[in-house]
């Protein structure tokens, strides 16, 4: 599974990093999110899905 945060859509709600801090990090200057690695580590797929489902802007793509 791969994960990406669309920087055009993310508005910095920070729920993804709250739910899956191993998968998402927030930029210091504005709190907008990025995936730490495009590849979701084995065993973290459910967390990635929950983060995507919880994003208020629906900015997280799983593929």
Residue 8 in the binding site for other proteins (CB under 8 A) = no
Give the helix, strand, coil percentages of the chain, each rounded to 5: 25, 20, 55
Nearer to other proteins, 7 or 39 (CB): 7
Considering only 6, 18, 22, 37, the residue that binds other proteins (CB under 8 A) is 18
Q: How far apart are CA 44 and CA 28, in angstroms?
A: 24
**What is Dmax (Cα atoms) for the chain?**
31
Among 15, 34, 36, 62, binds other proteins (CB under 8 A): 15
| Chain contacts with other proteins (rule: CB under 8 A) | 11-15, 17-19, 26-31, 50, 53-58
């Amino acid at each position: 599974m791969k994960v990406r945060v669309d920087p055009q859509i993310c508005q910095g709600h920070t729920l993804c990093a709250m739910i899956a801090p191993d998968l998402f990090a927030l930029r210091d200057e504005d709190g907008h999110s990025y995936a730490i690695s495009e590849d979701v580590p084995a065993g973290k797929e459910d967390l990635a899905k929950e983060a995507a489902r919880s994003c208020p802007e629906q900015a997280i793509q799983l593929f």
